[in-house]
Amino acid sequence: MSITASVLILSTDDKIVEEAKLAFDGLGDNTPRFRLVKQSSHLFEALRTQSISLVLIEFSADAKELTGVVNQIRSASPQPRVAAILRPEGFPENVNESAALIDAMRCGVCDFLRRPLSTADLSRLISQHPTSNAGGSSSTSKPLGRVVSFISNKGGVGKSTLSTNAAVAIARRGKQSVLLIDGSIQMGVAAALLDLRPSATLTDLARESDRLDPTMIRQTAAVHSSGLHLLAAPADAVEAMEIDDLLIARIITLARQTYDVVIVDTFPMFDQVVIAALDLSDRVYVVLENVLPTLLGGVKLLSVLERIGYPAERQSVILNRQQRVTGSLSVDDVADRLQRDIDHVLPFDKKVMAAANCGVPIAMATIRFSGFSRALEELASDVAGQLDSTESRVVLNEQPLVAPDPVADESPFSSSTGEIDR
């Protein structure tokens, strides 16, 4: 007779059984059955024949071994949540811990546990899993939300204004839950654009990272009258130092489990935090203006995206504040310089500036005959993945993004203006 279990643990260490028993016993009446398997073949056999709610896999020295097993689990049975157990001795010196953990999250690992296993950690993981119905079959799991990032080569091009207004426009429709992450951690302005005074920021999540889960993200987010949820940037640059690439990756990974659309506004600097956000994004929106210096920086930015392995088919170019005045570059001029089609053109509209100064997003106003409003609604539909209903959701890259060599050429993100991106 086969042993059934709701939790499977893949590890070669017998001592982990004692740790798991002590931790699970602390759950009282909610104690699940668990089973230790030492070979991945036994794990896959159990997944095919038993109803498993949670799989715990010990993180080996070889990060690729973990990602390979997780990918096979997803192919065999998409229902179980997968968490990784970190070894007490940590990672070998030749392994980049941050990169290894982000890689694991990309392939579907929902969380990480440190040994000895604790009752609190296991309780949190089990409570997050949808319960089975009376018939014994698992309930249908919610599809992962769509993640997009807005980036630019300099501040002041309207990137934050566009990402915030696109988020508001989607939220107002009431069909999808939307989270805006102000990843411009050095000088985020999303809260000001929304006239919100959040009681918590990304820094609070960093300080409570051991308890981080989808529920905590929802509780931390500030709620706008449009229905949009906002994870605000740190209060200042000192607090921003507590935010790293691993935290941003964990937040995005957890957020997409509970929100339909996750929008990340980034800081105009190509650091590890920005790369982590891009690595987990289904699409990136590059915001430019038809001003030659900005455009030349945009050319470099697109080149950097190519160098780090972010495919062109997952990029969209936005030309913001387009004006048809003497001496300005036309849309065709910009496209010719970029050697790339322009996906969205947002015309200049002084009402946008006035709305930003008042903290009332232009997306909250219904201006049917405004060229900007029409273009914004089209952008919002694209961000939400609804511009073309026949287009399938883009699959994430199989390879993680690689940071560019800062010595190879001049950074396309340098700006002498110091202008805040509004």
In a domain, 140, yes or no: no
Question: What per-residue confidence (pLDDT) applies to 114?
Answer: 83
In a domain, 419, yes or no: no
Whether residue 163 is found in the same domain as residue 303: yes
In a domain, 199, yes or no: yes
Query: Residue 332: CB partners within 8 Å, gap ≥ 6?
Result: none
H/E element holding 9? strand 7-10
In a domain, 195, yes or no: yes
Contact 34, 52 (CB under 8 A): no
Task: Give the C-alpha separation, 399 to 15, whole Å.
Answer: 34
Whether residue 107 is found in the same domain as residue 235: no
Whether residue 124 is found in the same domain as residue 157: no
Handedness of CA 271, 417, 242, 396 (dihedral sign): negative
Question: What per-residue confidence (pLDDT) applies to 398?
Answer: 45
In a domain, 407, yes or no: no
Domain of 209 in residue numbering reads as 146-383
H/E element holding 322? strand 315-322
CATH number of residue 87's parent domain: 3.40.50.2300
Per-residue pLDDT of the chain (422 residues; tens, 9 = 90+): 344 458 889 988 888 888 888 888 888 877 788 888 888 888 888 787 777 888 999 887 677 788 888 888 877 666 788 888 887 777 777 777 777 888 888 778 888 888 888 888 888 777 765 443 333 333 445 678 999 999 999 889 999 999 999 999 999 999 999 999 999 998 899 999 999 999 999 999 999 987 888 889 999 999 999 999 999 999 998 999 999 988 998 899 889 989 999 999 999 888 889 998 998 899 999 999 988 888 999 999 999 999 888 899 999 999 999 988 777 889 999 999 999 999 999 999 998 988 888 889 999 986 656 789 999 999 999 999 987 544 433 334 445 566 655 444 444 444 444 444 45
In a domain, 395, yes or no: no
Question: What per-residue confidence (pLDDT) applies to 343?
Answer: 96
**150's tokens:** 């807005």
In a domain, 398, yes or no: no
Handedness of CA 245, 248, 254, 260 (dihedral sign): negative
Task: Give the C-alpha separation, 180 to 265, whole Å.
Answer: 7
Nearest-5° angle of CA 413, CA 305, CA 384? Answer: 100
Whether residue 74 is found in the same domain as residue 172: no
- Among 101, 128, 155, give the residue marking a domain's end: 128
Return the closest-CA partner of residue 246 out of 113, 145, 107, 100: 100
Whether residue 289 is found in the same domain as residue 231: yes
Confidence (pTM): 0.73
CATH number of residue 191's parent domain: 3.40.50.300
Whether residue 169 is found in the same domain as residue 120: no
**191's tokens:** 């809260």
What is the DSSP secondary-structure string of 136-205? Answer: SPBPPPPPPPEEEEEE-SSTTSSHHHHHHHHHHHHHHHTSS-EEEEEE-TTS--HHHHTT---S--HHHH
- Phi (first) and psi of residue 253, to 5 degrees: -60, -40
Whether residue 117 is found in the same domain as residue 183: no
Place of tokens 């105009």: 268
Residue length of the chain: 422
Whether residue 198 is found in the same domain as residue 322: yes
C-alpha dist (Å) from residue 420 to 125, 384, 414:
40, 26, 13
Contact 161, 355 (CB under 8 A): no
Question: What per-residue confidence (pLDDT) applies to 145?
Answer: 92
Residues forming beta bridges with residue 347, ordered by sequence position:
322
Q: What is the DSSP letter of 269?
A: S
Whether residue 124 is found in the same domain as residue 267: no
- Among 74, 100, 128, give the residue marking a domain's end: 128
Task: Give the C-alpha separation, 209 to 134, whole Å.
Answer: 35
Contact 276, 248 (CB under 8 A): yes
In a domain, 344, yes or no: yes
Whether residue 168 is found in the same domain as residue 65: no
- Residue 127 CA neighbour count, 13 Å, CB half: 12
Whether residue 93 is found in the same domain as residue 177: no
Question: What per-residue confidence (pLDDT) applies to 402?
Answer: 61
The count of domains in the chain is 2
Task: Give the C-alpha separation, 148 to 411, whole Å.
Answer: 23
Query: Residue 358: CB partners within 8 Å, gap ≥ 6?
Result: 195
The letter for the amino acid at 232 is A
Whether residue 52 is found in the same domain as residue 171: no
Task: Give the C-alpha separation, 86 to 103, whole Å.
Answer: 14
